Structures are given as C-alpha cells and as structure tokens.
Amino acid sequence: MDDGGGTGPVGEDQDRAPAQEALPPPEVIDGFMRFVPLLEAWYRRAPEEMPRELAEVFDRNRLTGRHGSVLSQLVHGQEPTVGELSSRLGVRLSTVSELVGDLAYAGLVTRRKDPANRRRVLVALSAEYRPLMERFAASRAAPLLRVLDRLTPEARQGFAEGLRAWAEEVTPSDR
C-alpha cells in the first residue's frame, strides 16, 4: 500500500490530488509569455478596426468575436461545412451551427446544400459583405504578413509549428 509519499507502484496513487503545476522558468516568461497579453489586446481591438458598415451589422445583431472567427474562415472564398468550421475553430458543432445561424440571420453568410452530398450544408460569405470582410481581413492580417516577410522559410515553418502545437494543447479535447 502507498503511504502517500509517492513511492508506491504506478497506479497506486490514484486517490491523491494531482501534482501542482510548476511555474514556467524565467526564460519562458521573458521569451514567450510576456507577449501573450499584447496579442490578446490586439484581438480585443478588432471591433474598433472594423469597417463602419460591418461594425453596425455586428452591433445591430449583437454579434461577437466568436462570430468574427467564423467569418475569418470564409474570407478566401472557401465553402466549408459547419462540421469543418467546428474542427477548424475547435468549437462544438452545435455552437458553430448557432453562430452560422446568427450570421445568416444578419445577412453576412449564406448557406446552401452541398451538391455532392445533400445532407451537408456549405457556408459562404454573402456577396454583399464580401468586400468589407476582405478589406477587414487584409488590414488585420497585415502585421502577421510583415512578420512572415522578415522570417526565413525555416523560421516560418517553426513559427507555424509552434502556434499549431500551442493551439492543439489549449484546445479542449471534449468539444
């Protein structure tokens, strides 16, 4: 029997509380974590940087940043399904379905049956709001594009791999 000192065989300490997470070392805080609040502030500024007409649609329909994240997945003219959006955004299918419904009601997206599989619904930006969304997406992407231009191909690949790994680590697995 384990005495709580952690010396018992693997599996015998299941009733104990999990070990406390360790604080990150100073080089992780200084080299990485100190930038997270700056990026969070940049994301928070998105509503202020929206074209006026788009901001009015968001206000009138009480749309949020979560709705904006759906729109950003549509700006390149792709027509993903609600399921594909759910996977891309790391959000439950029911949540994405509700967000898409709100966006369709606001006139920002259209939905149509997939001709290859009539049970699936494809989502696209509406023609009316496409130019506004493209302009907004381009202005929001400009800082990242400037950074990517300064990086070597190897550094770009490392940057992308790091972001992907971090996103996967913080995305709940029970979506």
Q: What is the residue whose two structure tokens read 């693997």?
A: 10
Between 138 and 7, residue with greater pLDDT: 138
Give the β-pairing of 109-114 and 117-125.
Answer: antiparallel
- Per-residue pLDDT averaged across 39-59, rounded? 91
Asked whether residue 41 carries a pLDDT value surpassing 60, the answer given is yes
The one-character DSSP state at 129 is T
Q: How confident is the model at residue 2 (pLDDT cuts 50, 70, 90)?
A: very low
**pLDDT, position 139:** 94
Distances (CA, A) of 120 to 85, 112, 140, 169: 13, 9, 31, 29
d(CA 30, CA 172) in angstroms, rounded, equals 26
User: In the structure, what pLDDT confidence band is assigned to residue 12 with cuts at 50, 70 and 90?
Assistant: very low
Torsion angle of the four alpha carbons 90, 91, 94, 97, in this order, in degrees rounded to the nearest 10: -80
What pLDDT does residue 105 have?
A: 97
User: 30-34, 62-66, 91-95, 121-125: lowest mean pLDDT where?
Assistant: 30-34
pLDDT in tens, 154-168: 999 999 999 989 888
Specify the pLDDT at position 55: 94
H helix intervals, 45-129: 46-49, 52-60, 65-72, 82-89, 93-105
According to the 3-state scheme, what is the secondary structure of 139-168?
HHHHHHHHHHHHCCHHHHHHHHHHHHHHHH
- The pLDDT assigned to 19 comes to 64
How many CA atoms within 13 Å lie on the side-chain side of 37?
3
Q: What is the pLDDT of residue 21?
A: 86
Question: So what's the pLDDT on residue 68?
Answer: 94
pLDDT of residue 86: 93
8-state DSSP, 63: -
**SS3 at position 135:** helix
- Over residues 38-61, the mean pLDDT reads 91
The 10s digit of each residue's pLDDT in 88-111 is: 998 899 999 999 999 999 999 999
- Is the pTM value of this prediction over 0.85? no
Q: Are 102 and 63 in contact (CB under 8 A)?
A: yes
